[in-house]
Chains A and B, each alone.
Chain A
Amino acid sequence: MTRQQRLFEVVRTGLAILIALVIALVIILVVSNDPGDALSKFLLGPLDSFRHFGNVIELMIPLTFTGIAISVMFSAAQFNLGAEGGFFIGAIAASFVAINFSLPPVIHPIVAVLFGGLVGSLFCGIPAALKVRWGASELVSSLMFNYIAFFFGLYLINYFLRDVNAGAMVSYQFKSSALIATMIPKTRISFSLVVAIALVIAAGAFMARTRWGYRIRLIGANAQFARYSGINTNHVVLYSQIIGGFIAGVGGSLEVLGMYTRFTWQTLPGYGWDGVIVAILARNNPIFVPIAAFFLAYLRIGADIMSRYSDVPNEFVALIQGTIIILIAASSFLAKYRHRLVFKEATQKASPAASPEAAQGAKQ
């Protein structure tokens, strides 16, 4: 993209976010008895204490993982929404390793996380395989697999890993050798932050600078052309979704081992769906995912703080998220201006078109 176009996209994104925030503002004004207070909690709450800001970073980490997972899959034009299920089942797989095995520290969490990633890649890989082999829509099958992952995972937790003495539907405690240490004191931010940063760099490099990432992007841009260039499109469709599932599974594993001492989720955490918004905001580019993840996490935590200290419930963030998706993905949004911009560029740079005179000039 040229500089002008890039600027245009930034403006368009900014405008979409602005509109969404204005809607949020209106909602707060209407709903709250003390809108000023509510608004300040929403917008500034995450900044008012070290702990609150830490919460933002804590949330940003799983969103980065699912955001990158979805970005990779969407880059290949595969509408696989299985990051949600992959994240969940990866967490369970990691819990399994954390509970049932005794390994030296540092090795233990690494093994657990890798196993979680593997299981995650399986859950996203099966819809991919169904698509490649039989052409079944990866959208519907990945949605179904989210539920399969959820129920199967819960089944494993509640029947094989459940700690009956704990008084709630939770698993046994993880062995301490499996836990990921907290990195920043006074917060719950664990070393998974380091892994997240490493992933961003690795994923960015993978997509932009390796032949496998290139093939993914090529297929997403024009699958026919990729085929004509000799690329095995089936392989790429498959591995793009396996990689996405792996990343989601790793994200779930890190989340559970870094932030908790037992597996406690009884519902799907929803990070997979947030990953979709992050991917859209980041334009499927892993390098921009942390920024988008931070932005979304900030909104979420802000809404949480607002709901705790004022009278506006935090679910309204969902409304903002939806608006952002619709506006950013709307090709018609500001399309007139984009057309003008594109047209201007094309006529500036284009070589002169054939003139009728030239054809008629040299008559026999």
Chain B
Amino acid sequence: MGMEELLRMEGITKVYPNGIVANKNVDFSVSPGEIHGLVGENGAGKSTLMKILFGLEKAEQGRITLSGKEIRVDSPYAAIVHGIGMVHQHFMLVPSLTAAENLVMGLEPRKGIYLDLAGAIQTTEELGKKYGLEVDPRVAVRDLPVGIKQRLEILKALFRGARILILDEPTAVLTPQETEELFVQLKLLRQAGNTIVFISHKLNEIKALCDRVTIMRNGSVQGTFEVSGVNEQDISRLMVGRDVILEVQKTPARPTETVLAVRELVVFNRFRKRAVDGISFSVRRGEIVGIAGVEGNGQGELVEAITGLGIYASGTIAVGGKSVAGMTIKAIRQAGVCHVPEDRMTHGCAATLGIESNLMSYNHDMPEFTGPVFFKRKAIRANAQQLIEEYTVKCSSPTQEVGMLSGGNIQKVVVAREFSSDPSLIVADQPTRGIDVGATEFIRARLVELRDAGAAVLLVSADLNEVMELSDSLIVMYGGKVVAYIPDAKSVSEEELGLYMLGLRKQSPEEIGRVIHD
């Protein structure tokens, strides 16, 4: 190659305790003074790789070499000592301290026993001027706009001597102007001799900013290229694809009437940006509609709005013809909606309670399970045992603590509870994330069965396999909008889907409008 290497990660393999292989023998290297893009879908392994580099995770195998010498990075502090700095998606700042105080935290300048505040302020100003990253040192961080906070994070890293800066999806929280400013600053940093790793899935940004790009998919590196030598289609093809096609056996869908009707839905997220920007679609009985898209394009907010866990600003959501605006969660459930949540430990179960207690959380006050005062214990136990058998939950008894089960079995408890409520609409959000193959196949087969029995299924999944194989039809979300509707999921190729998912192509309004079925 002949190109100078500043940092090299070799043979990195990382396996999580639940068996997921996040990084498979990854080789990654960065040259000095370049802006190097690292792209991949969620779950591709790019965040994990950088967490290993920054000492937040430990790899099972592999080594890291810096300027030719092997280094060990056991903690973020060790990373900083080696000159590696990271700007996270969640800022590591203390809200009530000023920008200057945040900058010097841990390395405070002193005047006798006192904190040299004036010195800290001066340092912040000088550093800001030097790198074009000006931040008002006297303002408390909680009063700073998001873009400035990010600048401060970068300054923090530079203050501690970082020569390599890792930025993890930095533009997710920025306005278009702030993004422009950031790019200008990053280019200045490059000129000053710093090296930048830019993690993103926004291809237009990679094109605009980076010198080289490394593409990851399913835990492996697909290749490293000069940005000038590839176009977005090429990148998309390498990013979005499947190594294995796990086929799901199913007969063609025969959808009937509409169950879920979403019209012109607008949801604001915490940054007051439109996470969901005027979406309309329908889901009918007897079909599985999958929402494909890179995470963070509004899917989470959409799910929360439909299931009653979040509020929405305008538009309508109707289940079975009735609007669910202002309904309590209990009422929405009674309208026939069930929800397999994305975060099963926080929202899907009570880990310290038994399986039986978890199975009855939504229907414990139904007449078949409770009399006027007491529970009908035999009925509850029989129901629990039947569900455990039906869903093949591996446990030692119906009263075993849910937290003791493996991830796949916990998820089976969650879906057993949700699916047995005889729902007309199932909202499944990442239903097979982080669980073993056996449980995955079981849950997918169940969803198809329920579809055949007449339920409407809305599937949200970052797993391309799942969303392409399990869904009958597909909606692609990008930037809070529906950019494509594919009536027959089998008719689209991964390449084409990738283009939609990455915002490179968009269907016409007529084509998208076909997703509304009445």
Contact = CB atoms under 8 A, between A and B. Distances in A.
A2 B438 contact: no
B375 A211 contact: yes
B404 A221 contact: no
Nearest to A346: B404
A98 B404 CA distance: 53
Given A222-B349, A363-B243, A351 B406 contact: yes
B498 to A, nearest CB: 16
Interface in B358-413: 360-362, 364-365, 370, 373-375, 377, 394-397, 399-401, 404-406, 408-409
B115 interface: no
A356 B405 contact: no
Nearest to A345: B404
B243 A364 contact: yes
B151 interface: no
Contacts of B439: 351
Interface in A1-16: 1-2, 5
Contacts of A205: 374
Interface stretch (B18-26, B98-106, B188-196, B285-293): B18-26
Nearest to B17: A353
Contacts of B242: 364
B492 interface: no
Interface string A19-41: 00000000000000000000000
A362 interface: yes
Contacts of B347: 224-225, 228
Tell me if A's interface is mostly helix, strand, loop or mixed.
Answer: helix
A359 B341 CA distance: 25
B333 A342 contact: no
Nearest to A1: B401
A229 interface: yes
Contacts of B350: 218, 221-222, 225-226
Contacts of A224: 346-347
B420 to A, nearest CB: 14
A353 B406 contact: yes
Interface string A339-364: 00010011001111111101111111
Contact of A364 (B244, B341, B394): B244
Contacts of B346: 222, 224-225
Interface string A165-202: 00000000000000000000000000000000000000
Interface in A301-329: none
B352 interface: yes
B396 A217 contact: no
Contacts of A225: 346-350, 361
A51 interface: no
Most chain A beta carbons < 10 A, residue from B242, B309, B406: B406
A345 B396 CA distance: 10
Contacts of B243: 359-360, 363-364
B436 A352 contact: yes
Interface string B157-177: 000000000000000000000
Contacts of B399: 1
A351 B409 contact: yes
B279 interface: no
Contacts of B18: 353-354
A364 B330 contact: no
A342 B373 contact: no
Interface in B315-362: 328-330, 333, 339, 341, 346-353, 357, 360-362
A114 to B, nearest CB: 19
A210 B408 contact: no
A350 B377 CA distance: 27
Contacts of B309: 228
B41 to A, nearest CB: 15
Contacts of A211: 364-365, 370, 375
Contacts of A349: 394-396, 404-406
Contacts of B406: 346, 349-351, 353
A351 B329 contact: no
B139 interface: no
Contact of A359 (B21, B349, B365): B21
Contacts of B78: none
Nearest to A217: B353
A358 B362 CA distance: 36
B365 A351 contact: no
B208 interface: no
B436 A221 contact: no
Contact of A210 (B15, B218, B375, B396): B375
Contacts of B19: 353-355
Nearest to A225: B350
Contacts of B81: none
A230 B328 contact: yes
Contacts of A151: none
A2 B329 contact: no
A230 B333 contact: yes
A353 B435 CA distance: 8
Nearest to B352: A221
- Interface magnitude class on chain A: 35 or more
A351 B408 contact: yes
A135 B20 CA distance: 40
Contacts of B330: 230-232
Contacts of B71: none
Contact of B351 (A2, A217, A222, A350): A222
Which one of A1, A5, A361 has the highest number of Cβ atoms from chain B below 10 Å of its Cβ?
Answer: A1
A204 to B, nearest CB: 12
A274 B318 CA distance: 54
Contacts of A209: 374-375, 377
B113 interface: no
Contacts of B349: 222, 225
Given A2-B396, A349-B405, A353-B436, A214 B357 contact: yes
Nearest to B366: A211
Contact of A362 (B21, B244, B339, B341): B244
Contacts of A364: 242-245
Contact of A228 (B341, B375, B409): B341
Nearest to B397: A2
A229 B20 contact: no
Contact of A351 (B21, B373, B400, B438): B438
Nearest to A350: B406
Nearest to A222: B350
Contacts of B400: 2
B20 A354 contact: yes
Contacts of B351: 221-222
A5 to B, nearest CB: 8
Given A221-B353, A350-B409, A228 B329 contact: yes
Contact of B437 (A226, A227, A358): A358
Interface hub of A227, A228, A232 (most chain B Cβ within 10 A): A228
Nearest to B241: A364
Contacts of A232: 328, 330
A352 B18 CA distance: 10
Contacts of A350: 394, 405-406, 409
A210 B20 CA distance: 41
A217 B365 CA distance: 15
Nearest to B20: A354
A210 B380 CA distance: 12
- Which are the 6 A-B pairs with shortest beta-carbon distances? A353-B19, A230-B330, A221-B350, A350-B406, A229-B361, A222-B350
Interface of B: 15, 18-21, 24, 218, 242-245, 309, 328-330, 333, 339, 341, 346-353, 357, 360-362, 364-365, 370, 373-375, 377, 394-397, 399-401, 404-406, 408-409, 436-439
6 contacts: A210-B374, A214-B360, A351-B439, A353-B19, A359-B244, A361-B244
